Each structure stands twice: as C-alpha cells, then as structure tokens.
Amino acid sequence: QQPVQSPQAVILREGEDAVINCSSSKALYSVHWYRQKHGEAPIFLMILLKGGEQKGHDKISASFNEKKQQSSLYLTASQLSYSGTYFCGTRVTGGFKTIFGAGTRLFVKA
Amino acid sequence: DAGVIQSPRHEVTEMGQEVTLRCKPISGHNSLFWYRQTMMRGLELLIYFNNNVPIDDSGMPEDRFSAKMPNASFSTLKIQPSEPRDSAVYFCASSLEGQTNEQFFGPGTRLTVL
C-alpha cells in the first residue's frame, strides 16, 4: 500500500525550513528518500532503517519512528537547489520492493 | 562508472506497435527495477529482478507487458501491443541489495503511444 506524504506541495523562500512527512499503514523495515528535479531521474538522499534512527546529509536530515510507521524529512535553511519533488519509499521486512509515495513538490524562491 | 544506461531516451510509436525498452545496470549491482511514472499514478514499480531472476512482477499492468534479464548487464521491458495509455516515462534502476540498498535510476525513456 502506497505511503501517504504530506504536504502535497510547499513554497519556501530561500533560508526557510520545511518538513515533509511520510506515513504508512504497514509495519516498516526501512524508509528511503529521493529527490527528483523536473525532467530528471530521482536521486537518492538517504535510507533509514528500523531502529528509529536519524540521519543527516548537509542541511537535510530525516527521522524514522517505526512504532508510528512514520518518517519525516527536514530541510534546513533551504537553498534554491532544493527545489524539486521529494518522494519517500517504504519497504517491509524481507523484501526489496520499494513502494513510493505520491511525492511532495517543493519550490524554493529567492 | 557510467551509471544506469537506458535506451532509447525517447520513443514515439503508434498504437498496436511493439515497443522494447533497454537497460544496462551499474556493474556489480545485483538487483534491477523497472518503474513507470505518470502524473496520475506517480512512480509505480512494475517488476524487479535479483541476480537476474524476476522476484516480483505484481506491478506489471497486464499480459501486454513482459520483462527479461538474460544476464547481469542487460534487461528489456517489452510492450506488445502498445496502447495510448502506456504513454509514460519508464525508469530502470539498479542497486546492490543487502549492502547499501540505494537505488540508482537511469535517465528514463519517455514513451508516447499515438
């Protein structure tokens, strides 16, 4: 079942922060985050594994609450280059199948 | 590394014609995934292979779609006969499952069926 992402879209000014949420109705093993720019392929950002870990990548970080079956992506001090569509992908235990959410469109303006 | 290679990048065909999309995964990767992306349905997993073996094809829309992976460096996705509703961007991705699990996507094939 497809994970639910929120919000569907967000507009930011450069330097502002944003949070993108991803929730699933199934018990998750891992959550994957990707960013896709218009006309390009999705690019991997990070993977969070069962265990409730938190990861960071420059000014982009994420958390995974396995009990709530939720993950959040945090974008701090957003830059113009952060614009794009962010997808979360979820996996259950025992498989390689990643089910992607519908995406969150992020637009950062100067 | 050249990354995941897909061909053709663009394909325009007429309804009823056979379409073959090709993918070369990253060398050393053990898993390959075919996705379809449309505005309406988002990014859908069609099928994935592990060590050249199809593991899950539950996302393949119907019998008109078939996929093969004859060796570790090549995969095809075939649509026969094609229909206008098959128009989409088709991505191939590969990964080293059991290690990083990060999927590397190819540039995609934009298919238009008239």
> What pLDDT, on the 0 to 100 scale, is given for residue A66?
85
> What pLDDT, on the 0 to 100 scale, is given for residue A28?
87
- Partner residue opposite A41 with nearest CB, options B44, B55, B106: B106
pLDDT in tens, B36-46: 999 988 999 99
* Cβ–Cβ contact B103 with A under 8 A: yes
Report chain A's mean pLDDT, rounded to a whole number. 91
> What pLDDT, on the 0 to 100 scale, is given for residue B99?
64
Average pLDDT rounded to a whole number, residues B86-114: 92
> In chain B, positions 18-77, which contact chain A (CB-CB < 8 Å)?
31, 33, 42-45, 48, 50, 55-56
> What pLDDT, on the 0 to 100 scale, is given for residue B114?
96
Selected for mutation to probe chain B from A8, A28, A98 (highest B CB count within 10 Å) is: A98
- Partner residue opposite A44 with nearest CB, options B43, B91, B102: B102
- Partner residue opposite B103 with nearest CB, options A2, A98, A102: A98
**CB within 8 Å: B107 and A47:** no
> What pLDDT, on the 0 to 100 scale, is given for residue B98?
74
A49 has a pLDDT exceeding 80: yes
Sole residue written with tokens 């709530």: A68
> What pLDDT, on the 0 to 100 scale, is given for residue B105?
97
According to the 3-state scheme, what is the secondary structure of A21-56?
EEECCCCCCEEEEEEECCCCCCEEEEEEECCCCEEE
pLDDT in tens, B10-53: 999 999 999 999 999 999 999 999 999 999 889 999 999 999 99
Instruction: For residues B105 and B77, give the distance between their C-alpha atoms in angstroms, rounded to a whole number.
Output: 15
pLDDT in tens, B52-68: 999 999 999 889 999 99
Neighbours of A13 (CB within 10 A): 9
Q: Which residue has the higher pLDDT, B92 or A29?
A: B92
CA nearest neighbour of B28 among B63, B57, B60, B4: B4
pLDDT in tens, A24-43: 998 888 999 999 999 999 99
Q: With contacts defined as CB-CB under 8 Å, which chain A residues touch B31? A: 96
> What pLDDT, on the 0 to 100 scale, is given for residue A67?
87
> What pLDDT, on the 0 to 100 scale, is given for residue A41?
95
Q: Which residue has the higher pLDDT, A53 or A73?
A: A73
Percent of chain A with pLDDT over 90: 70
> What pLDDT, on the 0 to 100 scale, is given for residue A4?
96
CA nearest neighbour of B35 among B13, B3, B67, B9: B67
